Every structure is written in structure tokens, then in C-alpha cells.
Structure 1
């Protein structure tokens, strides 16, 4: 039925529930399990609006990338502990919903399984959640857990 299942991971409880569901689906279908963590590029313009900044902020993008890799690695370990067969984890930079949809198209994903609520910010409340955007942009079926 499904050959490739994509689970976007942000470290939230909702994403972990979605991962658990996807692992169960993988066990019954034998599909390839892909995990994707997306981080947003840090803009120095955005940082300049902060009242408190360190003298040397360092490479903020690298810190965001490192955190995203940690989230992806943790998700992969969790999937294996739940019985997943050879899950693959990826880290990408970009706007979350569009990056998820682009990744799903590039990898010819048959199903996206994602949490209904993640670690979104105020923008998510004002403009709509990532799950809502993915369901409206994706070409493949999307299961929101």
C-alpha cells in the first residue's frame, strides 16, 4: 500500500505520537520510514530587534542546525526502540510546511504522518499551523495525529 512514509519531527509530544503511528504502519506495510526535521534560517535582522544580545552571538544557524540534528537523531532512536526497520533521518532548513511538502515530492513519499500540534510559535497561531498548511499543499495523503 505505502512505499514511503514521511514523519516531520520537531521534538513535540504530537510529533512523537505521529511517529509511533507511522512505526506501526511501517510494521504492517513494510514501507520505508523517513524522518524530517526542519529548522528556520536565523535572520540577523530578526535578532537585531532583541533587547538582549550577547556580544558575539556566534553562528546561530549552526546552533539551530545542531539542535535540529539532535531532534532527528532522538526521533530515529525512538523509532528503532518502537520496532521500526531502518528509519532514515534528515535535517533541512526552510519554512517548515513548504520544506516538508517539497521533501515529500522529491522523495516520492506516499503518506505524510504528522502531529496536529507541534512546537510552533505565535506565527502558527496567526497564520495557521504547519499541519494545516501541509494538508493543503501536499500532493499525497496526509494523516494528522
Structure 2
């Protein structure tokens, strides 16, 4: 049935619920791999320079967002291990979330994508949005479970 499940995580309650569903599937199907993926939006130095408030030292936005995404993935991995999940791997990518999720699923030959319905932030600047789950379901070549 399923051998590889991709779970898009952004730290939100809905994405953690999606992870819990994937963990439940893993319990039912032996040897299922779970791939955790956190996607952050790329910000250029030009975009950062447009900020009205500029700190004394300016971190590169992509570096900060990448580190935050790594924390989200690590937290999700710990959550999975705490629920006795096995074969869990984490990944961080930058780009447009829906596009990256669909492409990552193809590259890793995922049999199922599990996403939350809505992410942590507003529609304008969230990592995973309600529209992301809609786009993923529209473009994915494998089944998508929206939690």
C-alpha cells in the first residue's frame, strides 16, 4: 500500500495533527518511511533591505528562516519518536511551499502526502496556508490526505 509518506510540517497544530495521522498509518503498515518536510519562503537581501526597522546587525533572512525550519523539523522528529514512530527523516527546503511539496514528493517517490488544512500564520505570510493544501491536492501525482 504505502511505503513512503511525506508530511508537510510548519509547527502549527494542524501540521502536527497531520503528523499524528501519518504515525497512525505507520503503525498499521510495517516499514513505512515518514519524510518530514518544512518549506520556508525565500527572502532576498533586497527584500530585507526594504524593512523600515533595521537592526544594527542584519542576519540574512534565508539563514534565519532555514534555522527556524530546522527547529520545526527537529521538534516534529522528536514528537514522532515520542509516539514510537520509526524510519522518520527530516528535510528543509526553500521556495513556494505547494510547489516544493509536490516536487519533493515526486523526487522521493512518496506514496502519500499528508498536510494540515492551515498553517501557523495569516494567509499573506504563512509557511503553509490553507491554499497550499488546495494547491498540493490539485498538482500531486499521489494521494493527498488533508488533516
- The reply to whether TM is greater than 0.5 is yes
Q: Contact 1:120 / 1:129 at 8 angstroms: preserved in 2?
A: no
1:41-60 alignment runs, 5 A limit: 41-60=42-61
Distance 2:58 2:123 in 1: 23
Q: Contact 2:119 / 2:130 at 8 angstroms: preserved in 1?
A: no
**Larger proportion of helix:** 1
Q: Please give the per-residue CA displacement for 1:79-133, whole angstroms capped at 9, x wherever unaligned.
A: 11112112111111111110000000000000001101112443379x9611111
Structure-2 change in CA distance of 1:128 and 1:115 (3 Å): closer
1:23-102 alignment runs, 5 A limit: 23-30=23-30, 31-102=32-103
TM-score, length of structure 2 as denominator length = 0.91
Residue ranges of structure 1 left out of the alignment (5+ in a row): none
Which 10-residue stretch deviates more, 43-52 or 103-112? 43-52
TM-score, length of structure 1 as denominator length = 0.92
Which 10-residue stretch deviates more, 43-52 or 129-138? 43-52
Runs of 4+ in 1 over 4 A off after TM superposition: none
Corresponding residue of 1:139: 141
Residue ranges of structure 2 left out of the alignment (5+ in a row): none
CA shift at 1:3, angstroms? 0.7
**RMSD over equivalenced CA pairs, Å:** 1.8
